[in-house]
Chains A and B, each alone.
Chain A
Amino acid sequence: MRTFDFWKVIGVAGTLAGLVSWPGTGQAQLGGVTDAVTNTTSTLSGQASGSTAVVMGIVTSLVDTGTLTSPSEPLGTSLPIGSIPGLLTAESLHATTMGWTDQVASEASLSNLAMTVAGTGISADFIQSRALAVSGAVPTGLTSIEGLSIGGVPVSFAGAPNQSISLPGLSVTLNEQIQSASGIIVNALRVRSLDGLTDVVVGSAKAGM
């Protein structure tokens, strides 16, 4: 763990309470799902993506699994190199979501992130999000962010959910966790321009039962 203290270095600490909707194309697909193998009905939902960006209303996703519909059909996708032109590049992207009769697990990860939003450069050695929903229990999320740098300044990620950073023209949330009655969405890194034109999620995992 790289432990630079971003707060002390640039003296910027903010709170953003933006628990907003899933920015990508996939919303939770809830409802009864009958599994062909077990012939049981469940209300599972799961999805993962390496990155989803909304720029001036145009949605672009990298390695998006699509929506999990059955515990018999785990989903996964990957890329050695991925990019959203003009916005970000990353390596070794992978996303997967899988279900059981009693739980759903989703995971997305990527390496060597390089991104520029509203003129601010953001980079990370490694980013990973995980979401786990177990029947009868509160869904949980886990985020790993290693080697994060914003505007050339190393940033410490303590691991707590919803760590927010305010910058001129930009808001950054680390380990955004959105809990709902239907599950959890874990966004490892979310960057939004304050003009509302750009909303980028890097490493997103969703799980619900």
Chain B
Amino acid sequence: MSLRSEYEFGIMALLSLMLIIPMYFPRYYVYIIAVTLCYAIYALGYNLIFGYTGLLSFGHALYWGVGAYTVAAFMRPELGPFRIFSMEALLVLSVVTSALVALAVGSICVRYTRIFFGLLNLGFVMLWYSLLLKLYYITGGTDGLPVYTPTLLGQSFTAEVFRTYTYYYYVLAIFLATSLMMWRVVNSHFGLTLKALRENSLRAGFVGLDISRYRLASYVLSGIWGGIGGALWAPLSGQVSPEISTWLTSGDIVLMTILGGMGSFIGPVIGAFVFLNLKVQIMHYTTFWQLFLGSAVILMVLVLPGGICGAASSLRLRRTKTAS
């Protein structure tokens, strides 16, 4: 078991190493990878509640939105001298806001399971969405809010340099840090507890575990990760709008996680990379990306429930079997 975990972490390290190379890649691609890293953080967080704890939420984009809007909100010109441009401060604020929202929403949601859990989360993200649309004097309504270039560790950069060079490394660093933290979490006693909850919540209760409490903890952590992802993404996008947090965009993160394989740690990261890059590639040729990705999901559920990672590991298993 630990050999496999080492293998997985090795892949992650390799991946990150590869990512340093994009100095040599076209600027647009660096931008895309940076965006993907944000989604990867988001996906890692989502996998905690979905893959490890076994709860399917169709409203996780709520936290992405909370994180992104927190950043945009504190940059608003209306705040005058109270505007915050420090990315570090903005990240901390996003963690706080997403944690609070996750605590509030989660404490209601974790008392229910399966379809109800999924629908409740859907309800909350759509509530958030409709409030974003309607409270336009705060949130900018359908147009949303602009996001200005923040400072990184106190340094300012021109928008161009920021987007295509410096910020990329910043995001990469945070990605690595949050991944390491998540790695610790899933390999701890807590991680095992979550897996037990996923496998058999009834028995977990009879083993002395307070089901709701652990689910809430998992939910809040996954919300925080989502908020970090959204917050990091906001300066890249330059604009936040209500469309980023609907049940449909929540569906995107579910697709990413399934695509990559929800039973594993890096599955969601791979899923995020594949999903986004595939989408970009597909969009070069046709606007009908839903067709392809939707079909991919159907295929996954029917044929490869383990996703890309699941397929890879079973392939490896088969090869070792024939070898012996």
* B is bound to A: no
